[in-house]
Every structure is written in C-alpha cells, then in structure tokens.
Structure 1
Amino acid sequence: MAVPSSTSIKPRSYLTKQQRYFLIIICSLLPSSSSSSSSSSSSSIHDLLVSRGLPAGLLPKEVKSYTLSENGTLEVFLGEPCLTKYENRVIFDSVVRAKLSYGSLSGVEGLSQEELFLWLPVKGIIVYDPKSGLILFDIGVAHKQLSLSLFEDPPLCKPQGILKNNVRKDKRFEALR
C-alpha cells in the first residue's frame, strides 16, 4: 500500500540536551525517601561544604565517607585520626561530627586545634560573610579568625601514629637535661 505524498510521518519528540540536563538537576533536588544521605567520595563532601557556604578545605582529602541526616547532623568518616596544618596544627579524629547549616558547623566533635602548645577542641566554625575573607573558629576559650584562603583546597592529612613515631626532639630542650 502506497502512502500518499501529501501525508508525512512525524518523528517522535525527544528531549534536547538542555532539557535532559534540567530534568537531571530537578530530580537530584527532590527529597529522597531515606532519612539520611551518604557518600563514599571525598570530593562529594567538599562539594557539599561549598554548597553550604563553607570552604572545601575544612576537611582533609582523606575523607572516606560521610552521612548527612535530614536534621543537618553531619558525620564524616576518615580511616584513622590524622594531623594537618592550616595556620596551626589540627587533629581530626577518625569520626568528626557537627550540625551543618548554611555557613556554619556547630557542636563540632572530633576536631582539635593547637594553640600555644595546648590542644583545644574546636566547638564551631562559622563564615558570616564570605566577602570578608574570614572564617571564625570557636575553640571554647576564645574565637579565632583566620583567612578563608587557608581553606581553599582540602589538605593532606598524615596519620597521627606516624607523626608520633617520627617526632624529632628539639635540641634546645635536650640541652636542659
């Protein structure tokens, strides 16, 4: 049977690249049915921090996974405790917990910062105004302002056990013996 030349067959309508991209974004923003979301990619935790107004370098590259509950409780899992340096030395426990809200981590557990030869627990981290270029660390006894530029890139974090075994004695103190 011949099809008359005046009749045309219409092709199926497909989504354009732009429409597919938009659909993917919309689907990713829909709430999930689970009570918490998790990721095993360390780059995702850094992306999460940036999306919440915090610098990516607040957490080390060695993050193994994290969970974020619907109430904002963030749990970050590292393989083991480790030490890194921003302006001062910082120790991350194998698990770091905090309440994540836009521009802040409050009720921080599992993070300590060295101040004047003392290790003080970090209680909170706040970026009030990113344009100021400052980040505020609440270390309990004081608040310390640091440059946001120190936290641009996730630092490498050395296992705490390796550092204890390789500590070099200060010769000034050895002379006092």
Structure 2
Amino acid sequence: MANPLLLGFTALLLILADASSPSAADSIHDLLRAYGLPGGLLPREVEYYSLDRASGDLEVRIGRPCYAEFDGTVLFDRVVRANLTYGGLRSLVGVTQEELFLWLPVREIVVSDPASGVILFDIGLAHKRISLSLFEFPPECTPGDDGGWLSGARDG
C-alpha cells in the first residue's frame, strides 16, 4: 500500500505544475485566442512562455529584441510580461510602439467588444484603436537593436 502522504504530495505537485506551465501542445498564440485576444499579438519567434493561471501573470520569452509591423512599428523586448485576463493584456512590459518618431511603451492591450472589430492599445499618452484584422496571424519579427538607447525608451 502506498504512503498517503507521498500520494498527496505528488498530487499537489502535479496540480501546481499544471497551474503554472502550459501544455507542450499549446502555443502562445492559441493561449491568446482562448483568452479572447487575437493570436497575432505576439511574434512567431516566441521561444517560451509561462502562465500562472491563478494570478494571470504571463511571461513570454523571445530570443532577441525584434520589430514587427502592424499599424506601425512595434518593438518586442527579449522578455514580455503582462497580466493576462479575458480580453486583455494588462500591466504590459516589454512592448513599445513608434509614434511620431518616439518610442512609447504599450501599457495595455484590450479587446472589450470583439464584434466591434477593434483592439485598443494604451500607449500612455493616448489610446489607439486598431483593426483586429491586423492581428489575425502572428507577425514575423526582424531582429532589433539590443543597444542601450532603446532600453531607456522601453522603460518608459
């Protein structure tokens, strides 16, 4: 007969592992869709992600900083962090968007009404309304600058 304490501990470890790490079959793009967001918000070059399903804390790792084109140029840092909620990436860190020659941090991405066909980007100074159709497929990223001048812009 197995030790009940050992069985309980093993079950707890399995539950915790399931809560904090994605299934190998899941992609970050599928995860975004499951949370009511378009799958193309993050680039194809995502190497790894982790999600704490209890808190919504999401961490996405990309091999190197890279640029993607949507409604304008977006820079993804090596690590992107956010709080994932249904229809939103909140407290976003690691994504900046070029606006009028300035790099502004994207603080939040929200789809409040999918029927509207619009996604909302909070870039601090303004809220941008962008067509959801631009985010249907994950973009291909071009390598970005790993230099210091951008880190100041990304930090806000």
The reply on whether 1:77 has 2:61 as its aligned counterpart is: yes
Structure 2 distance, partners of 1:39, 1:140, is: 34
* Cα shift at 1:161: 3.8
- Aligned match of 1:120: 104
The one of 128, 132, 141 aligned to 1:148: 132
- Structure 1 residues 92 and 40, CA gap change in structure 2 (3 angstroms): farther
Letter of the structure 2 residue corresponding to residue 47 of structure 1: D
Whether the 8 Å CA contact 1:82–1:91 is kept in 2: the answer is yes
What amino acid does structure 2 have at the position aligned with 1:57? G
Deviations, residues 110-134 of structure 1 (Å, cap 9, x unaligned): 0000001100000000000111000
Give the TM-score taking structure 2 as reference length.
0.79
The SS at the match of 2:44 is: coil
Q: Which amino acid aligns with 2:118?
A: L
Using CA pairs under 8 Å that are at least 6 residues apart, name the structure with larger relative contact order, 1 or 2: 2
TM-score (norm 1): 0.70
**Where do 1:1-177 residues align within 5 Å?**
32-34=15-17, 35-38=19-22, 44-69=27-52, 70-161=54-145
Sequence identity (%)? 56
- State the one-letter code of the partner of 1:145: R
Q: Offset of 1:37 from its aligned partner? A: 1.1
- The residue matched to 1:33 in structure 2 has which SS? helix
Aligned partners of 1:40 and 1:64 also within 8 Å? no
Aligned to 1:18: none
Q: Which runs of 5+ in 1 are unaligned?
A: 1-30, 163-177
RMSD: 1.8
Tell me, in whole angstroms, the C-alpha distance in 1 between the residues paired with 2:143 and 2:37. Answer: 25
User: 1:73, 1:95 → 2: CA distance?
Assistant: 13
CA deviations 1:29-68 (Å, max 9, x no partner) are xx93325113667x61100000000000000000001000
Q: Which runs of 4+ in 1 moved over 4 A?
A: none
The count of corresponding residues between Structure 1 and Structure 2 is: 131
Provide closer, same or farther for how the CA distance between residues 111 and 39 of structure 1 changes in structure 2, counting only shifts above 3 A.
farther
